[in-house]
Structure 1
């Protein structure tokens, strides 16, 4: 076996890990795949004979690539009022998908993904690489071009934000699905009071329609979210259950075509968040 073949084999052995790192850093499945491919191209044209730990070297290479992508997003100065939800990992119930399940096993929950998407590039890199993938602060500091102490401060700031804003869903999947099924039944019946009772008082609905015909919005409060009962009733009538980032979800279907993916986050027996992915340009890649 030649040196290039050996490198290719070693790279394939760590591809899943690198994809997980890139996904957590970018919140985009397509961009994560692009970042991993770019890491392979850099490996193929680099002499790594003196690299003691190739896996660690590749992780930092992916980190640098993702940092550049995150910074380019910031420089585009997108409208701060736009709603952009990170790509979730969607798994069909009863249909094994080893690749997606492996990615999900290394992934954080939907609520944390949303918070990570709100962090600055340097904060996100420092937190994800250190707290989620155990990369040393010294290595991360070299990627960022900052001191180790400054890098620790970035991670600490991000950690506080995550702890404050990322709610932890109830641990029992069966109980989560039970609450969601009750919510969908109430929406079909048009029972506003039952919907409100199943929602946390501070429940939030986040809808990302991208550039499509739908409306992107953030709606807060149990009554305001329950007022969208008609939308939920349609999903209950025509959708199929899925797991969205490990949470109970539904794919809404119109004439057999997916038009939206919904995910519910259940906390303390009530629905704390409903996330709606309706960007037509992204739906194909999510399913």
Structure 2
């Protein structure tokens, strides 16, 4: 493959990765999907490809759909042990963020909501809402009719309508939300923490202080959630031993939402992402599985973070 052909692919890499990430919810799987697409690009008869960008989009979309449909993926997601992989603000895999729909399509709350969709519905929704493809183009990408694309989009919007998140969060706003959360969670005053939560607030974790590792726990009652959060936030020798020390806590933006990052030196050991609605916390997502923190840690090492909210937890 000549340099120009490689450069043509590389010019599309970030866009392809952000599309695959929205479809799969996993940065590692998205990277694999992009690599598979590159191998197919390498093997293709490129002289017969009229619009390379469209060809690459079709391939990465269908490679991602194959992964979503795989037996292993269905088992993992059905077992309730799956959570999206968090990405730090500034990561190009987050993709376009010019509109409210584009920004919310990559929040952890929305990635979890999209689990309710069939693979094709998810693909149509992402291509239409996050990347502004026309239904004629989506039909070509997915080998379906234009009317089928419209029907899938309609059903997808209905299923996730209740999951709309808040507006754009900047670093200063994120720090205010995280500082209020930390102050309430560490105060021991459950009522103070309840006051920060919406009436329908929920919590989900892979074991980031909420319960046994790799076991997802959900709370739909704000007081029960506040009690669980308070217990999770309380440092203990066992928790410090589990993560390897006393991490510092930083206020950051992760997947467009305020987040609390726990880091030991340059290694991220946990993330708590807060979904905000009407100035209150609507959902808390805790992630501590090292397998889900690899890319975020790599990007964390590239930046100089602001002063920690908690120097030593």
Q: Distance in 2 between matches of 1:79 and 1:170?
A: 28
Q: Distance in 1 between matches of 2:266 and 2:39?
A: 39
User: Relative to structure 1, is the Cα distance of residues 255 and 179 closer, same or farther in structure 2, using a 3 angstrom cutoff?
Assistant: closer
Q: Give the drift of 1:238.
A: 4.0
For 1:242, the equivalent position in structure 2 comes to 252
Q: Distance in 1 between matches of 2:128 and 2:15?
A: 14
Q: 274-283 or 130-139, which moves further after superposition? A: 130-139
Conserved? CA contact 1:88–1:286, under 8 Å? yes
Q: Distance in 2 between matches of 1:171 and 1:136?
A: 25
Q: Secondary structure at the match of 1:146?
A: coil
- CA deviation profile, 1:125-173 (whole Å, cap 9, x unmatched): 1111122223333343344443221222111111222222x23224454
For 2:233, the equivalent position in structure 1 comes to 232
User: Structure 2: any 5+ residue segments left out of the alignment?
Assistant: 97-102, 240-245, 298-313
Conserved? CA contact 1:18–1:62, under 8 Å? yes
Q: Distance in 2 between matches of 1:153 and 1:253?
A: 45
Give the TM-score normalised by the residue count of structure 2: 0.79
Q: Distance in 1 between matches of 2:266 and 2:45?
A: 51
Q: Secondary structure at the match of 1:152?
A: helix
Q: Give the drift of 1:118.
A: 2.7
Give the TM-score normalised by the residue count of structure 1: 0.85
Q: Distance in 2 between matches of 1:125 and 1:256?
A: 35
User: Structure 1: any 5+ residue segments left out of the alignment?
Assistant: 92-96
Q: Distance in 2 between matches of 1:209 and 1:194?
A: 24
1:276 pairs with one of 286, 289, 309? 286
For 2:35, the equivalent position in structure 1 comes to 37
Conserved? CA contact 1:176–1:269, under 8 Å? no
Conserved? CA contact 1:60–1:139, under 8 Å? no
Q: Aligned ranges for residues 159-174 of structure 1 at < 5 Å?
A: 159-164=157-162, 166-171=163-168, 173=170, 174=172
Cα RMSD between the aligned structures?
2.7
2:270 pairs with one of 238, 245, 260? 260
- CA deviation profile, 1:61-94 (whole Å, cap 9, x unmatched): 1111011111115774346351422112124xxx
Q: Give the drift of 1:281.
A: 2.4
Q: Distance in 2 between matches of 1:75 and 1:22?
A: 15
Are residues 1:220 and 2:220 paired?
yes
Q: Secondary structure at the match of 1:218?
A: coil
Q: Aligned ranges for residues 80-159 of structure 1 at < 5 Å?
A: 80=78, 82-91=80-89, 100=91, 102-106=92-96, 108-159=106-157
User: Relative to structure 1, is the Cα distance of residues 255 and 103 closer, same or farther in structure 2, using a 3 angstrom cutoff?
Assistant: closer
- How many residue pairs match? The answer is 275
Q: Secondary structure at the match of 1:57?
A: helix
Q: Distance in 2 between matches of 1:256 and 1:131?
A: 36
Q: 74-83 or 22-31, which moves further after superposition? A: 74-83
